[in-house]
Amino acid sequence: MYTFPHKNILDADQFTQEDINYIIEKTNQMRILEKQGRAFGLLRGKILASLFFEASTRTRLSFESAMERLAGRVISTVGFQFSSISKGETLFDTMKMVEAYSDIAVIRHPIEGSSRIAGAAVKIPVINAGDGAGQHPTQALLDMYTIISEKKEIDGLTIGFIGDLKYGRTIHSLIKLLRYYKVHLHLISPKELYLIDSYKKDLEKYPITYEETGDIKAMWECDVIYVTRIQEERFPDYKEYEKLKETYKVNKEMILASKKDTTVLHPLPRVNELSTDVDDLPNAAYFRQAKYGVFVRMTLLCLCLGVEIPKAE
């Protein structure tokens, strides 16, 4: 019998294919329970600490919504400015306080590896909601869930990642989940923003295959197109960002020239890399993707807290 083995969710690398399948199956259950009004109550009496030290709309609100939909409560701190970290407190000490006040914590932080420090400091479960240019594992799980919901099967898909593959943490995490499947990736980015070598090297051990290109036309062969924002806030040299920020702009015409049923994903927010004229096409799945995030996060909160998700009839 399979038991979910993770207390913390820190890096997509921690998941086996069995874990991924289990999370997808439980999310399907959760989605039905939520619709039937049976999810409310699963986390009654539990408190989530929502610690967002970097900008966020979807991730923070979807975690908080997830907790509320399970009848749990949320306490939060947003930005360094209003937390004692601005007075010089260490993340370790902050986490010790969080542990005293809550049952589970979700943390977003600009420094890569910070969620690991947070997780090591406390006994309560800690979920990484994005650490610098590092990882964003819950986004990757909702991306997987969306791809399965839209396409049914992962094996056999050609997936195009477009944009900032160097600093884009959602891609860093999603690639770690996709590596178990027979998918072919088109890594489409300017040379300066190619995927980091360590991620590419890791893929060599798995069934996944990939090719790199700067040519946007590679998207025409893809079943799924995953567009990303150039990560302005991560560039050490702003001039470099200015040079690259307009590299790609995916628009309606380009989607119509692609495979007819290609699915367009974006972790959002978008700036100008994905035109709003795509929104009305049936291919545009990014708003559904954001919505699925709530079900995935409801599921993960329960799993990390060891709370059983009842079977949905």
Catalytic residues: 58-59, 87, 108, 136
Q: Which residues are CB-neighbours of 185 under 8 A, at least 6 positions away? A: 158, 159, 160, 161, 175, 178, 208, 209, 210, 211
> Total residues at the site for ligand ASP (CB under 6 A)?
6
**In angstroms, what is the minimal distance from the CB of 233 to ligand ASP?**
8
Q: Which is nearer to ligand ASP, 128 or 258 (CB)?
A: 128
**In angstroms, what is the minimal distance from the CB of 230 to ligand ASP?**
9
Q: Which is nearer to ligand ASP, 33 or 290 (CB)?
A: 290
Q: Which is nearer to ligand ASP, 26 or 136 (CB)?
A: 136
Rounded Cα distance, 164 and 176, in Å:
17
- Whose CA is closest to 168, among 143, 202, 145? 143
Cα–Cα distance list, 204 to 178, 258, 301 (Å): 13, 28, 32
Rounded Cα distance, 171 and 169, in Å:
5
Kindly compute the dihedral angle of the four CA atoms of residues 258, 224, 113, 203, in this order, to the nearest 10 degrees: -100
**In angstroms, what is the minimal distance from the CB of 40 to ligand ASP?**
27
Cα–Cα distance list, 93 to 80, 81, 96, 99, 305 (Å): 14, 17, 5, 10, 22
x/- mask, ligand ASP, residues 15-54, rule CB under 6 A, reads ----------------------------------------
72 binds ligand ASP (CB under 6 A): no
Binder of ligand ASP out of 26, 46, 109, 169 (CB under 6 A): 169
Q: Which is nearer to ligand ASP, 176 or 229 (CB)?
A: 229
Residue 55: CB atoms within 10 A of its CB come to 14
136 binds ligand ASP (CB under 6 A): yes
Cα–Cα distance list, 187 to 159, 163, 275 (Å): 9, 9, 20
Q: Which is nearer to ligand ASP, 229 or 297 (CB)?
A: 229
Binder of ligand ASP out of 119, 130, 132, 293 (CB under 6 A): 130
Interaction with ligand ASP in 267-296: which residues (CB under 6 A)? Answer: 267
Residue 66: CB atoms within 10 A of its CB come to 28
**In angstroms, what is the minimal distance from the CB of 270 to ligand ASP?**
8
How many contiguous H segments (helices) and E segments (strands) does the chain have?
10, 9
Q: Which is nearer to ligand ASP, 40 or 241 (CB)?
A: 241
Rounded Cα distance, 245 and 262, in Å:
25
**Do the beta carbons of residue 223 and residue 159 sit within 8 Å?**
yes
Identify the sign of the CA torsion 220, 138, 183, 113: positive
Interaction with ligand ASP in 225-254: which residues (CB under 6 A)? Answer: 229
Interaction with ligand ASP in 80-119: which residues (CB under 6 A)? Answer: none
**In angstroms, what is the minimal distance from the CB of 170 to ligand ASP?**
5
170 binds ligand ASP (CB under 6 A): yes
**In angstroms, what is the minimal distance from the CB of 227 to ligand ASP?**
10
Rounded Cα distance, 13 and 96, in Å:
26
Footprint of ligand ASP (CB under 6 A): 130, 136, 169-170, 229, 267
